[in-house]
């Protein structure tokens, strides 16, 4: 007797954000709200409704893998220029569910040890286990983004990586991890405003790094590198979604719906008892 859950997923939104052949990053309006005609106040309400569904689906996903390790996991990959709002997504979207089922990993500048291995080595170690929702705050894509822009590896190595990424993502998908790849997209003007806020508010100083401006000066090169990422790695098994993030409330709602769409497709079920329920009731009653 399974209750039929009503889906809250905005399918138009999910479809509108998907990177398909011919996609041009330069054509994206960072203040747009594709697939969503309502305003900020309504979006806040919708986010709460979605949070409840997200929470239940996450618990089911986790529960069904406890005994059966062939059950799936989900991996959210977050990429963005500085200040685009990755942290807010983790806090407000992922933060709405039980921390016990989340595997969150922020990838920083690689350590010496990490650099001594293939670029996917540290990634592989953080692929979520069955039942978990993994969140990558930055990811293997850094190795073809800053890696490319800053020439941190020879061109032929950068070139090799796109194929290696596709092979890797296909493999972990085959092993049961559904990947949701999101780029949060803002404009240089929006970044300037947000960086300035960090410089104007002492409680934000810690989020500011002078190196942010050095990266900012390479904006066109980064956009080229992102376009190449989309051209080369938006596959059927692991498509990219570009989320306009000029309006934070839209970006949060959009990422939530991308996750909900994935979870609904997986349709996780409460697992059956692995014991004799009536016999256990009697045992318990006798204590």
Question: Does the protein bind a second copy through residue 116 (CB under 8 A)?
Answer: no
Question: Does the protein bind a second copy through residue 98 (CB under 8 A)?
Answer: yes
Site string (126-145) toward a second copy, x via CB under 8 A? -----------x--------
> Least distance to a second copy from the beta carbon of 266, Å?
16
CB nearer to a second copy: give 11 or 273. Answer: 273
Residues 176-205 that bind a second copy (CB under 8 A): 188, 192, 195-196, 199-200, 202-203, 205
Please identify which residue in 16, 25, 28, 104 interacts with a second copy, judged by CB under 8 A. 104
Residues 257-276 that bind a second copy (CB under 8 A): 270-275
Please identify which residue in 22, 37, 99, 155 interacts with a second copy, judged by CB under 8 A. 99
Residue with tokens 């807010």: 88
CB nearer to a second copy: give 116 or 286. Answer: 286
Residues 14-53 that bind a second copy (CB under 8 A): none
> Least distance to a second copy from the beta carbon of 159, Å?
31
3 state SS for the chain: CCCCCCCCCCHHHHHHHECCCCCCHHHCCCCCCCCCCCCHHHHHHHHHHHHHHHHHHHHHHHHHHCCCCCCCEEEEEEEECCCCCHHHHHHHCHHHCCHHHEEEEECCCCCHHHHCCCCCHHHHCCCCCCCCEEEEECCHHHHHCHHHHCCCCCHHHHHHHHHHHHHHHHHHHHCCEEEEEEEEECCHHHHHHHHHHHHHCHHHHHHCCCHHHHHHCCHHHHHHHHHHHHHHHCCCCCCEEEEECCCHHHHHHHHHHHHHHHHHHHCCCCCCCCCCHHHHHHHHHCC
Site string (200-239) toward a second copy, x via CB under 8 A? x-xx-xx-xxx--x--xx----------------------
Question: Does the protein bind a second copy through residue 61 (CB under 8 A)?
Answer: no
* Burial of 75 from C-beta contacts in 10 A (0-12 / 13-18 / 19+): buried
Q: Which residues pair with 180 in a beta bridge?
A: 76
- Candidates 21-29, 100-108, 167-175, 178-186 — which segment interacts with a second copy by CB under 8 A? 100-108
Q: Which residues bind a second copy (CB under 8 A)?
A: 63-64, 66-67, 87, 90-91, 94-95, 97-100, 102, 104, 106, 137, 188, 192, 195-196, 199-200, 202-203, 205-206, 208-210, 213, 216-217, 270-275, 277, 280-281, 283-285, 287
């Amino acid at each position: 007797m399974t209750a039929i859950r009503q889906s809250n997923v905005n399918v138009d939104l999910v479809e509108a954000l998907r990177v398909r052949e011919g996609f041009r990053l330069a054509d994206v309006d960072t203040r747009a709200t594709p697939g969503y005609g309502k305003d900020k106040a309504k979006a806040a309400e919708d986010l709460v409704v979605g949070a409840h569904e997200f929470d239940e689906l996450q618990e089911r996903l986790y529960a069904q893998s406890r005994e059966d390790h062939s059950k799936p996991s989900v991996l959210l990959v977050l990429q963005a220029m500085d200040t685009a709002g990755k942290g807010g997504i983790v806090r407000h979207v992922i933060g709405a569910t039980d921390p016990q089922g989340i595997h969150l990993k922020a990838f920083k500048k690689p350590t010496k040890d990490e650099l001594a291995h293939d670029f996917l080595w540290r990634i592989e170690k953080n692929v979520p286990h069955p039942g978990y929702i993994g969140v990558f705050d930055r990811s293997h894509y850094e190795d073809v983004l800053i890696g490319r822009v800053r020439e941190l590896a020879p061109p032929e190595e950068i070139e090799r990586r796109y194929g290696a990424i596709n092979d890797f993502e296909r493999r972990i998908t085959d092993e049961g991890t559904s990947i949701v790849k999101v780029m949060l997209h803002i404009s240089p003007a929006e970044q300037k405003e947000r960086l300035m806020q960090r410089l104007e508010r002492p409680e934000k100083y810690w989020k500011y790094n002078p190196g942010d401006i050095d990266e900012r000066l390479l904006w066109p090169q980064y956009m080229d590198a992102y376009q190449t990422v989309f051209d080369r790695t938006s596959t059927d098994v692991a498509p990219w979604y570009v989320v306009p993030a000029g309006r934070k409330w839209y970006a949060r709602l959009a990422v939530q719906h991308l996750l909900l769409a994935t979870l609904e497709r997986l349709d996780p079920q409460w697992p059956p008892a692995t014991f004799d329920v009536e016999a256990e009731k009697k045992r318990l009653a006798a204590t």
